[in-house]
Chains A and B, each alone.
Chain A
Amino acid sequence: MSARGPRDDGAGGDRRSFLRGALAAGVAGSLAGASASAAAAPADRATTPPARPFHGVHQAGVLDRSRPRTIVVSLDVIASGRGELTEFFRTLTDRARTLTAGGAPDDSGISGPPPDSGVLGPDVPAGGLTVTVGVGASLFDDRYGLASRKPAGLKPMRMFPNDDLDPDWCHGDVSLQLSAEDDDTVVHALRDIARHTRGAAQIRWRMSGFTSPPRPSGTPRNLMGFKDGISNPDATSAAEMDRLVWADRSREPAWTAGGSYVVIRLIRMLVEFWDRVGITEQEQMFGRDRATGAPLDGTREADEPRFAEDPIGKVIPLTSHIRMANPRTPQTADSRILRRSYNYDRGVDSVGDLDMGLVFTCYQQNPERQFEAVQERLIDEPLVDYITPFGGGYFFALPGARDSKDFLGRTLLA
């Protein structure tokens, strides 16, 4: 079938008459020339974010603080056989390496359409892009002979009592997170990677996210108006990351060294309902002051809550999010997670309410010991009335690519 009416002239006529017309009158070049000289161009960007190094023991994007923009993608692999799967990971790595370095792609001459979408202009700045790749439990089914290589703690995302999961928004063979300073950088990267891996993987679901600038200072706020990401393990401490984030050599297959588990939860916020809640109740739900981010027993966001001094929760209720999530006891210390969440904002639901929320993302060494333990403590917390987890998945973020010959997934597929 083809579209009728105007589209017939539009699509068919357009494409051909443009080529011919332009050729005949010799105007294609002059169009470009005219627009360049027509008016003073808007100011150039003063600085462009530098390229993030791609190679390393770990992938970039795991320890990094949430960046201004992200796209989280879940892919299903459709490659036929192990050879094509390996080719997929090689191509993915190659594109990630090229995109994170930036640089002008060569013209394709008459050998084909332009190799690049052009979205970032001819010189393709790196834009501080990070590309972080994970694998889901389903990749270890019988398709690629990987069953025996599955990381010890990798399994499909569990359904928790307050969840309302939509299968179309859950799981996936591969996770891909693209983060950068600007929207166009991540969109460009997604288009490039999708184009180069077509036929090997299809997008199952995707979500765009953003991190707000500090308002007015400190940790950025989520869409409930609270600073989110204040209390986290110290990502600059190698010892702490070895304890809490990087794969545990003693229980994992050797190929996982340098990798980490990532849990992604797509959580809708019922923001209209939330905005109808009094400030005291809001603050008691989280256990923090909305304006400053300080724990309710402190004055600055960096202050440590002192739960021990408030055993019955007079100041910070026992049911508050921070107290349930992290009781700060020796027994719960090894359940801490490295949270790297983003806000999402996408349209309107069937009653006209805004569809926005959190792309909750956390890294850890062991999803049962950490994410699930925290999530279990949070079951039926007062906040659940204002949020609905509807999607996401558990993935294992692969070890980094060591050098220009290495590729993500090499140790898995070796």
Chain B
Amino acid sequence: MRTPFLVVSVALLLASAGDARPTLGAPRPAAIEASTTGCGTGWTHPHAGGQVLTLRNDGATAAGVMLVDPSSGAVYAEVEGLGPGVTRRLHLSLGGGTYAFRCEDDRAGDPVTGPSVRIAGGRGSSVAVLPVTNNDLYAPARAYSKYVDAGLDRLIAATDRLRAAVDDGDLGAARTAWTPAHVSYERLGAAYGTFGDFDGAINGGPAGLPKGVHDPDFTGFHRLEYGLWHGESAASLRKVADRLAHDTRALKSDFPHQRMDPADLPLRAHEILENTLQFQLTGTADQGSGTTLRTAAANVEGTREVLGVLRPVLRDRYPALSQVDTWLDRLDAQLKGRSSVDGLSTAERERLNGTAGRLLELLAPIATLAEPRRVS
């Protein structure tokens, strides 16, 4: 996936550089320089209000550009990976203040800050945010890894109880043990490949498997769920339960190596619940247990943990953080005591879906504003 994409891109990059490079002598539209040489020059009539600023990279390598408040370092706008010869437009609404461009060459060293530009006038609506660095995310990522580590122990214990019940041939006890074991996994916030291939093995669904629920590659919690709620025998489920218990241990021993990339943490803020909306609130994840809303509640716990560790980073950067808390509480209140979407009225489901939807809108900016950036 990754390699071919890059190869194609580089080919395009060369083509575009050839096409977009102006021929000698041809008039060039006014643009602000985005390469490290001459960073920020060419900003001809700085003024307050709504405007379009055109950036052009006249350098030989790709550039990253930010419009910053030079005193605080807060960022108004950003263009990543501006190729040589390429022009980009920024739509901004600038208020009175001091501005500067900061340009970065990915091959070279420190970013270069261009001349400070003073603008007189009123308020603009473009917001500046203090960028987050990898360093800022280090402690949160460590704290989150600790949470996952402790959660993995609980997962293993709960999964062992589930396996023991299946081994004993006590399917009633197995059904009772399934949900706590499963939610102990769902609490970990395994959205979008945090746990790599383990996630598919432990918690994958039948979609994409040629034989669906009967596919030999359908394994883990949902395979067991299917069997336990569709009258399969204990003998036939033993292998599934053993494999699951084994996979949870393998995940635990592998996790230190998988230790979370700090840059992933801000993405988790909304990705965990994106999955919840897609698979749990629709009910599609259900293989018979009727517990997708308990899964959803566990996913909310995982999201709360992500937000908890990110809070120091977000507190001064995200004004809507208190709204996030309000809507998390609302979602929790609506999930409380509920297990399955079946049996909910249209109005109840609309409230649940709309609450999750609003929460997602509020969580999404965290991925952008807390994405780690180089500042020096």
Q: Interface segment, B168-176, B186-194, B232-240, B305-313?
A: B186-194
A15 touches B267 (CB 8 A): yes
| Cβ contact of B207, chosen from A3, A17, A168, cutoff 8 A | A3
Q: Interface segment, A5-13, A338-346, A387-395?
A: A5-13
Q: Which A residues are CB-close (under 8 A) to B85? A: 33
> How far is A113 from B363 in the complex, measured between Cα atoms in Å?
11
- Whether B15 sits at the interface, judged by CB under 8 Å, is yes
Q: Which A residues are CB-close (under 8 A) to B131? A: 110
B368 touches A106 (CB 8 A): no
Also in contact, A23 and B80, with CB within 8 A (given A1-B205, A8-B200, A14-B1): yes
Measured CB to CB, the closest approach of chain B to A10, in angstroms, equals 7
> How far is A36 from B215 in the complex, measured between Cα atoms in Å?
45
| Cβ contact of A110, chosen from B75, B125, B350, B358, cutoff 8 A | B75
| Chain B residues numbered 185-216 whose CB sits less than 8 Å from any CB in chain A | 186, 190-194, 196-197, 199-200, 203-209
Measured CB to CB, the closest approach of chain B to A81, in angstroms, equals 12
- Whether B12 sits at the interface, judged by CB under 8 Å, is yes
- Whether B336 sits at the interface, judged by CB under 8 Å, is no
Count A-side interface residues using an 8 Å CB cutoff. 58
- Whether A378 sits at the interface, judged by CB under 8 Å, is no
| Chain A residues numbered 100-123 whose CB sits less than 8 Å from any CB in chain B | 104-113, 122
Q: Which A residues are CB-close (under 8 A) to B241? A: none
Count B-side interface residues using an 8 Å CB cutoff. 96
A34 touches B190 (CB 8 A): no
User: Which single residue of chain A is at the shortest CB-CB distance from B270?
Assistant: A113
User: Which single residue of chain B is at the shortest CB-CB distance from A105?
Assistant: B91
| Cβ contact of A17, chosen from B2, B81, B365, cutoff 8 A | B2
Measured CB to CB, the closest approach of chain B to A194, in angstroms, equals 9
- Whether A40 sits at the interface, judged by CB under 8 Å, is no
- Whether A26 sits at the interface, judged by CB under 8 Å, is yes
A29 touches B5 (CB 8 A): no
Q: Which A residues are CB-close (under 8 A) to B280? A: 1
- Whether A204 sits at the interface, judged by CB under 8 Å, is yes
Residues 195-206 of chain A: 1 if any B CB is under 8 Å from the residue's CB, otherwise 0?
100111110100
User: Which single residue of chain B is at the shortest CB-CB distance from A109?
Assistant: B77
- Whether B247 sits at the interface, judged by CB under 8 Å, is no
Residues 80-99 of chain B: 1 if any A CB is under 8 Å from the residue's CB, otherwise 0?
11111111111111000000
- Whether A43 sits at the interface, judged by CB under 8 Å, is no
| Cβ contact of B1, chosen from A10, A78, A111, cutoff 8 A | A10
- Whether A30 sits at the interface, judged by CB under 8 Å, is yes
B80 touches A200 (CB 8 A): no
Q: Which A residues are CB-close (under 8 A) to B128? A: 109
Residues 261-281 of chain B: 1 if any A CB is under 8 Å from the residue's CB, otherwise 0?
101100100000001000110
> How far is A10 from B207 in the complex, measured between Cα atoms in Å?
14
Q: Which A residues are CB-close (under 8 A) to B354? A: 78, 198-202
Also in contact, A195 and B361, with CB within 8 A (given A4-B205, A25-B9): yes
- Whether A16 sits at the interface, judged by CB under 8 Å, is yes
A26 touches B81 (CB 8 A): yes
Q: Which A residues are CB-close (under 8 A) to B19? A: 33-34, 37-38
> How far is A9 from B84 in the complex, measured between Cα atoms in Å?
31
Q: A34-B16, A34-B19, A202-B354 are in contact. List 4 more A-B contacts (CB 8 A).
A: A2-B193, A29-B81, A113-B365, A198-B361
Q: Considering the complex of A and B, which 10 residue pairs feature the smallest CB-CB distances, nearest first?
A: A26-B62, A12-B193, A199-B358, A30-B83, A4-B204, A112-B365, A34-B16, A12-B192, A27-B9, A33-B86
Residues of B bordering A, CB below 8 Å: 1-2, 5-6, 9-10, 12-13, 15-17, 19-20, 50, 52, 57, 61-64, 67, 75-93, 106, 125-129, 131, 186, 190-194, 196-197, 199-200, 203-209, 217, 222, 261, 263-264, 267, 275, 279-280, 285, 295, 327, 330, 346-347, 350-351, 353-355, 357-361, 364-365, 367-369, 371, 373
